[in-house]
Amino acid sequence: MTVHSPALLSALRRQHFPCFLMKAFETLPPGDPPLEMAWYLKAMCHGLQEVHEGKERRLVITVPPRHLKSVTASVAFVA
């Protein structure tokens, strides 16, 4: 997806959690390669979005260590 307008990109990050996660990951460890949205990251974002919308009240994320659980749920989602 290519977005050319900074205002449109900013609005997309406010409305679409995976886009916000990509920006948050870009900001947190500067110099690392860009985040590629693997299937498990998309699944975590979907689950967290459902919690945010009130469709789910509880969510347990079980993926192996070093798969961005903390960055996704405790940093980006809270922000």
So where are the chain's domains? 6-76
Mean pLDDT of 58-66: 95
Q: Which residue has the higher pLDDT, 55 or 8?
A: 55
Mean pLDDT of 27-32: 81
Mean pLDDT of 40-62: 95
Mean pLDDT of 5-31: 88
Nearest in space to 25 (alpha carbons), one of 34, 14, 17, 13: 34
CA distance 48 to 72: 9
- Name residues whose C-beta falls within 8 Å of residue 9's C-beta, 6 or more positions apart in sequence: 3
Tell me how many degrees the CA angle 18-20-25 measures, rounded to the nearest 5. 95
